[in-house]
């Protein structure tokens, strides 16, 4: 009899909750490189953060570097008031601070926040229907997506409370007319959620662009598929993480510097 696949396989790097700051820096720099490699970056804009265990600080990208330039040592540390901790020649992205500090403060159950202006994710954010449960990719997010209405560039602290309220206890958000947001208990989890959220949006836009009627599975099938691909499962993202790091290390390991 065939044995079931063991989904608790660990990557070659420890989960975020068990990692020290240097390990987090390497994981986070790797994530910036992966977002760029898979075509989800936006010049020097958008941002990914991870909370430093035991501190009210998070690691963040230096504003002005493109994602393929980011290394473990170039990441800046920011407190929840927006101050740079330690020395850095770089500043934090103001809009990024508004978004990330709000979520890092409110959601103690997560450690990593990832925001993109990706092509297909932004396209779906413009659609009144939002993300549709029409592909196997999208069905893992069935009834798991939060939405936040566009209020302009996120530069006003007053938006933070509304953003947090709209997010609730979910790990996936579509920011209307703006882009995508994923949260993870670990850095690999946040990345894998973003990868498949963007893939879901891509498939939807391609299908809608055909002009043909798109098939939506029955509710019972949607619910079953969501349970089979539970985005709240333990170790989400760990199975893929080792392979992703091997991909980076083969092409350009400088993210570790």
Name the pairing type of β-strands 47-51 and 57-60.
Answer: antiparallel
Tell me what pLDDT residue 81 has. 86
What is the rounded distance in angstroms from the CA atom of residue 135 to the CA atom of residue 126? 19
pLDDT tens-digit map of 171-203: 999 999 999 999 999 999 999 999 999 999 999
Q: What six digits make up the tokens of 112?
A: 């990593």
pLDDT tens-digit map of 122-134: 999 999 999 999 9
- Confidence band, pLDDT 50/70/90 cuts, at residue 170: very high
Which class does domain 16-243 fall in? alpha beta
Q: What is the mean pLDDT of residues 141-164?
A: 95
Taking alpha carbons only, the member of 130, 143, 120 closest to residue 225 is: 143
Measured CA to CA in angstroms, residue 79 lies from 111, 181, 197 at distances of 14, 21, 29
Q: Which residue has the tokens 């330690």?
A: 86
Contact 180, 120 (CB under 8 A): no
Contact 104, 79 (CB under 8 A): no
Tell me what pLDDT residue 93 has. 87
To the nearest whole number, what is the mean pLDDT of the chain? Answer: 92
- Confidence band, pLDDT 50/70/90 cuts, at residue 87: confident
Half-sphere exposure of 52 (CA within 13 A, CB side): 16
Contact 142, 232 (CB under 8 A): no
What is the rounded distance in angstroms from the CA atom of residue 139 to the CA atom of residue 226? 6
Domain map of the chain by residue range?
16-243
Tell me what pLDDT residue 19 has. 80
Tell me what pLDDT residue 3 has. 41
Query: Whole-structure pTM over 0.75, yes or no?
Result: yes
pLDDT over 60 (residue 2): no
pLDDT over 90 (residue 23): yes
> What DSSP string runs through 117-164?
--HHHHHHHTSTT-S-S-SHHHHTTTT-EEEE---SSS--TTHHHHHH
What is the rounded distance in angstroms from the CA atom of residue 45 to the CA atom of residue 93? 8
% of the chain beyond a pLDDT of 90: 85
Q: How far is CA 172 from the centre of its chain?
A: 8
Instruction: Give the bridge partners for 22, in sequence order.
Output: none
111: helix, strand or coil:
coil
Q: Which residue has the tokens 């927006």?
A: 82
pLDDT over 90 (residue 8): no
pLDDT over 90 (residue 32): yes
pLDDT over 60 (residue 86): yes
Q: What six digits make up the tokens of 175?
A: 């920011």
Tell me what pLDDT residue 82 has. 85
pLDDT tens-digit map of 195-247: 999 999 999 999 999 999 999 999 999 999 999 999 999 999 999 999 999 99
Tell me what pLDDT residue 61 has. 94
178: helix, strand or coil:
coil
């Amino acid at each position: 009899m065939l044995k079931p696949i063991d989904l608790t396989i660990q990557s070659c790097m420890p989960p975020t909750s068990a990692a020290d700051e240097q390990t987090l820096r390497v994981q986070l720099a790797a994530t910036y490189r992966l977002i760029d490699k898979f075509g989800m970056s936006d010049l020097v804009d958008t941002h990914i953060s991870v909370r430093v265990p035991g501190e009210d600080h998070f690691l963040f990208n230096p504003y002005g570097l493109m994602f393929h330039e980011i290394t473990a040592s170039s990441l800046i540390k920011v407190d929840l008031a927006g101050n740079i901790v330690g020395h850095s020649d770089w500043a934090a992205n103001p809009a990024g601070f508004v978004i990330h500090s709000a979520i890092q403060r409110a959601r103690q159950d997560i450690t990593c926040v990832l925001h993109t202006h990706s092509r297909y994710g932004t396209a779906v954010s413009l659609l009144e229907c939002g993300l549709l449960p029409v592909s196997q990719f999208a069905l893992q997010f069935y009834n798991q997506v939060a939405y936040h209405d566009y209020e302009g560039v996120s530069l006003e602290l007053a938006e933070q409370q509304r953003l947090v309220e709209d997010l609730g206890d979910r790990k996936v958000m579509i920011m209307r007319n703006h882009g995508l947001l994923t949260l993870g208990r670990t850095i690999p989890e946040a990345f894998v959620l973003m990868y498949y959220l963007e893939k879901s949006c891509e498939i939807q836009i391609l299908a809608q662009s055909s002009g043909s009627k798109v098939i939506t599975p029955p509710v019972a099938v949607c619910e079953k598929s969501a349970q089979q691909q539970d985005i709240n499962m333990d170790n989400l993202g760990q199975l893929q993480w080792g392979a992703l790091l091997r991909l980076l290390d083969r092409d350009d390991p400088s993210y570790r510097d």
